[in-house]
Structure 1
Amino acid sequence: MAPPPELIDDVAAEIFLRLPPDEPEHLFRASLVCKPWLRVISDPAFLRRYRAYHRTPPLLGYARRRKAILEGDADPRLFPTTVVPLAPNPCFRQALDCHHGRVLLHAYEKDHWYLIVWDPVTGDEHRVPDAAIHSLIYSAAVFCAVSGCDHLDCHGGPFRVVFIDTDGSDNLIKACIYSSETGAWSTPVALSDGWETYVKHRQDALNGEYYRSIPFVQPRRGAVLGDEIYFTLWEADAIIKYDCGKNFLFMINAPLQDADNIALMEMEDNSLGFVYIKCSRLYLWSRKANSEGAAEWMQFKLIELMKMTPVSSPDDNAFVVGCAEGVGVIFVTTGAGLFTIKVNSGQVKKIGKPEVYFSILPYMSFYTPGNVQLIGYMLIVIMHVTPYACLLDRLLFVDS
């Protein structure tokens, strides 16, 4: 006598629950085997369990940002790191950020600039007017605007965009925020003269001592920690914090001086992380509250890169160009290419050829079967359905 259908579905769901989210093709291939499996995998309740079980959205791809902002990117697109198809790339000049399942793009059309907030999984695009700041060197961040959201399924909800730059007209650091709910930018706010490091560098520049002394905002990906967005500066050995709730800019000191090639990231405990490479050593710092409640930098980890990361010559150096929060992945570039390093295991993987990489923008999102995605993926795998009997046998013995 055949077992009850409920039992079959329950067992299948427990097996599918353990399929790795960073290899979403397994879930899609399983859904193509038969209708009962498709019903289980596409069930909204199962998909919620799947996301909660794995907790952190996987890395699906990355965009890159060039140092020469006005030149744009010679090949502007999102580079996938899995075999599943993402939505077609919009037409744009420069990628600016990736957070909470969204990609922020800078586009140019008919003598004016504008922003695009794009979801590579669903294909949704939202056009945003350019910020009202005379931008020269700038950065930006896009993030979910839903209070209390766990960011495991951020698709189609309201979002915000923070734009920060060193204004070319007065050399002041300014920021403003856009809300998709109001459809408008806030009035730009400038960093005040109450920050000693900032004032010194800016005064040196105004006195004509050295133009590079101006503390320009680095065109790198920022770190999003709730309502606080962090960006890095050139020459000032400092980090800029924009508080969305207070609409105010702050400056905090970096843990190291003269550290230009750095990356900021959100740590697992929601603290601010600082990554830097010097003399073939990767340093990871975390900013936490001490016993007196004051925030201070603490060295979290040190990784020796001498024999881990391939180089093109003995004089070649490694530079950190990005981080993927939640999955413990750091992006490093050398003359031999672009590599990912897993912080916990030290595993190194090459993902890009040798090029100029200034800032890598990791795109992270769960990619699970839905109507649009399933049709697109079916075109790729319909002739290559993997036999799943062996895979299911192995998964039956995987400990949860």
Structure 2
Amino acid sequence: MAPPATSMADIPDVMLEEIFLRLTAAEDLARASTTCPSFRRVIADHAFLRRYRALHPPPLLGLLQDTFSPAQPPHPSAVAARAFLGFDFSCSSFLPSTPGHTWRPVDFFDGRVLLAGAPDKEDSRFWVRDLAVCDPVHHRYVLLPAVPDDLKALAPQLDLLNLEVFLAPGQNEENPLSFRVMCVAQCTTKLLILVFSSSLGGQGQWHAHTFDQWSGQATSASDGSFIHSHGGLSNRQFVHGCFYWHLHFQNELLVLDVRAMELSAINLPPERGTNSFALVEAAEGMLGMLTEGYGEDPDSDPFWLTYSILRNNQWHLNKVIQLPVNDAALVGVAGGYLLLEALYTTTAQEALKFGCFSVNVKTLQVQFFAELSKPFMYARLYAGFPPSLCAPTI
């Protein structure tokens, strides 16, 4: 007599996990979860979802400004992005509200949203009064303690050029719920970085890192123009565990290693000129750079990207990528893609359209991402999985 056939329900959970971890597309994993209850139980487990996220970083799904503009077919992210149509990323429905007080999104990073709160009529350009870190999918949030007065005093407003607040990876890399919030205060005589870490639990407090060598860079411009340049740092980007800022007037990148909390500098290629650039992860832990390029006549000359890799402290040109657009501006990098906002046409007789194109940072393939009704001036990028495949981040 033949042995009874093995059903799907008889496959051990451990084996199912290993099978599902090999599904590289989130939509395939979502379809598998609807096949049978045992599949759904394994896939919905938060520990499994975190393992999956570690192996397959979530893709870029869309742009956020006043509303969410998702990836559109035929882009590979379009199916997953559809799940976020009409989604409320403002977190206003579950954050505590106070009359005359508004929460404003400041940063999106690793499935979390950082929001700053201040009275509606108050200029919150400097020290914000309230900060909250939210998980927009699971409606969870953490209210951060106020920055203590003694730490604020380290950067008096008369000395403060600019203040930037953003999310950073947690100190405990083994804990998926760990995160940090950083405040970078650019002063005329120093760079002050205040850090809040969730790894310290309910007793988490702000602590300071002061870099006095900043004074040498802050006054390096012979005419003192750096001091009047709104801080001199711009275009913050995160690659390989480090934050990078463009350091004006020196054609350099200022690098903050968030593991060691150490600063360093990297020279930019001199031929870059004033063109915009985006930093990306290159193979073998190296740093890559995509820089926009265009001819002398923007109405007729083509647009392109140059891809360079930093080896032994020297930038080496690797590839030139032609862009099927009439004009373009770099938006940012997230979820394995560089996103460009562009003017383009599909035929010579067609009127110009607004839209976005993506560049896969591994393959350098250019794809249409989405058509837009208007240009997005200060859009933020959102990378993630469909809500059913998201484990809590707080």
Q: Is the 8 A contact 2:190 2:215 kept in 1?
A: no
Provide the TM-score with structure 2 as the length reference.
Answer: 0.67
Match of 1:84 in 2: 83
2:184 corresponds, among 135, 141, 164, to 164
Q: Give the total of aligned pairs.
A: 330
Note the C-alpha offset of 1:217.
2.0
1:187 corresponds, among 208, 212, 217, to 208
- Counterpart code for 1:298: H
Q: Is the 8 A contact 1:31 1:37 kept in 2?
A: yes
Q: Is the 8 A contact 2:91 2:136 kept in 1?
A: no
Q: Secondary structure at the match of 1:98?
A: strand
Match of 2:134 in 1: 118
2:360 corresponds, among 320, 328, 342, to 342
- Counterpart code for 1:347: V
Deviation string, structure 1 residues 195-250 (Cα, Å, up to 9, x no partner): 56x5333743279xxx44x65222x3421433x32222344422122244554443
Q: Is the 8 A contact 2:233 2:248 kept in 1?
A: yes
Q: Which runs of 5+ in 2 are unaligned?
A: 72-80, 93-101, 295-302, 344-353
Taking the TM superposition and a 5 Å limit, the aligned residue runs for 1:1-400 are 3-5=5-7, 9=11, 17=21, 19-23=23-27, 26-43=28-45, 47=49, 50-51=52-53, 54-63=55-64, 75=66, 79-81=69-71, 82-85=81-84, 88-91=89-92, 94-109=104-119, 111=122, 113=128, 114-129=130-145, 132=152, 133=155, 134=157, 137-149=162-174, 154=176, 157-167=177-187, 170=188, 173-180=191-198, 181=200, 183-187=204-208, 189-190=210-211, 192=213, 195=216, 198-201=218-221, 203-205=223-225, 211-212=228-229, 216-218=232-234, 220-226=235-241, 228-244=242-258, 247-256=261-270, 257-259=272-274, 261-279=276-294, 280-288=303-311, 290=312, 295-305=313-323, 308=324, 310-311=325-326, 317-324=327-334, 327=336, 329-335=337-343, 336-343=354-361, 344=363, 346-351=365-370, 353=372, 354-358=374-378, 360-364=380-384, 368-369=388-389
CA distance in 2, matches of 1:173, 1:371: 36
CA distance in 1, matches of 2:49, 2:261: 36
CA distance in 1, matches of 2:26, 2:161: 37
CA distance in 2, matches of 1:120, 1:202: 47
Cα distance change of structure 1 residues 51 and 337 upon mapping to structure 2, 3 Å threshold: closer
CA distance in 1, matches of 2:16, 2:388: 16
Q: Which runs of 5+ in 1 are unaligned?
A: 65-74, 312-316, 373-400
Provide the TM-score with structure 1 as the length reference.
Answer: 0.66
Structural RMSD (CA) = 4.0
CA distance in 2, matches of 1:352, 1:107: 32
Cα distance change of structure 1 residues 264 and 109 upon mapping to structure 2, 3 Å threshold: farther
- Counterpart code for 1:296: Q
Q: Is the 8 A contact 2:190 2:214 kept in 1?
A: no
Cα distance change of structure 1 residues 43 and 105 upon mapping to structure 2, 3 Å threshold: closer
Higher strand share: 2
